[in-house]
Amino acid sequence: MTGSGPSETWLSRRGGLTPIGFLFLALLPLFDPNPYHLEILATAALYALLALGLNIIVGFAGLLHLGYAALFAVGAYTYALLNLRAGWPFWAGLPAAGLAAAAAGALLGLPAIRVRGDYLAIVTLGFGEIVRIVFTNLEPWTGGPNGLMGIAHPTLGAYNFGVDSRPYYAFLLLLVAVTAYGCAWLRRSRIGLAWGALKEDELAAACLGVDASRMKLLALFLGGWVAGLAGCVFAAKQGTVTPDSFDFILSVMVLAMVILGGLGSVTGAIVGALVLSAAPELLREFSSYRMLLFGVLMVVLMRIRPGGLFGHERAAAG
């Protein structure tokens, strides 16, 4: 199609952010070095990474996942335990955290791939709560409700990231860029076409030779991998992890980001994360009515764009 739309703007081209878009985001700290604003940017980049991972599961494969925070937690606790118990540095713990969360996502898929829709949502919701409760009760290993403290920050040569938000923002932005372009490539690959067929009609896709179980497991594996990377960066940045950081509300928030941006839209997942992570902070001066205004903003946006901000991107990019 040749029609214009969000996918042809400076922000998005063929389903992903353009280099100009990422360059603009990368240069923001130079124009606004305020530490508080940099912390918001780093948090937004972390949410964008999570939204991209969940978009693989929900947006590409059509699997309603309400326990995504559990995969995020697996990645965070994997790095925390490897660092505190075995002395692993951040750069070794990063792929290990991704693999642990990916494996957890695939293991969840083994009993869950035979159910669909609301039933799948219930299974993933239960999985999320089980993981959080397990981390709470395994006190000798996980520190229980108090969590784990003293987790090492990343180092690059002699430079220690410490608690400065700037290096975390830069690294997270790099992860978002790589993940976004990987997702855009996946969506146009045979795997992405198979996911699209499953999302539209699983029976018809099976008749065309699509292995539904294998494709669902792959989506859960890749989505878990991204969540694990985000969890590792989160644990390293905070220096501590607690079970309360990975509750059901976090899963719902990330899902809202994906839906707001537009299911299946790579750009939408990033923009939805930026909007929903920044909106509460922009409304902070209206502290008494902040969440009310936040809710009204969500309702208005979904009324104006029921398919999400970039909901028609697939059609425009195709």
- Summarize pLDDT for 76-98 with one digit per residue, the tens: 999 999 999 999 999 999 999 99
Task: Give CA–CA dist 233/170, Å, rounded.
Answer: 12
Tell me, yes or no, whether 28 lies in a domain: yes
Tell me, yes or no, whether 105 lies in a domain: yes
pLDDT class of 167 with cuts at 50, 70, 90: very high
12, with CB counted inside 10 A (0-12, 13-18, 19+), is buried
- Structural domain range at position 150: 19-247
Tell me, yes or no, whether 275 lies in a domain: no
Alpha helices in 208-312 (DSSP H): 212-238, 248-261, 266-282, 290-304
Tell me, yes or no, whether 129 lies in a domain: yes
**pLDDT for 289-299, tens place per residue?**
666 777 787 78
Tell me, yes or no, whether 311 lies in a domain: no
Q: How many CB atoms lie within 10 A of CB 117?
A: 10
Tell me, yes or no, whether 161 lies in a domain: yes
8 A C-beta contact, residue 108 and residue 49: no
Tell me, yes or no, whether 204 lies in a domain: yes
- Identify the pLDDT of residue 97: 98
HSE (CB half, 13 Å, CA atoms) of 13?
6
DSSP 62: -
Q: Which has more pLDDT, 58 or 27?
A: 58
Helix, strand, coil abundance in the chain, percent, nearest 5: 75, 5, 20
pTM for the model stands at 0.88
Tell me, yes or no, whether 308 lies in a domain: no
Task: Give CA–CA dist 274/308, Å, rounded.
Answer: 14
- Identify the pLDDT of residue 298: 74
Strand partners, 149: 240
Number of domains in the chain: 1
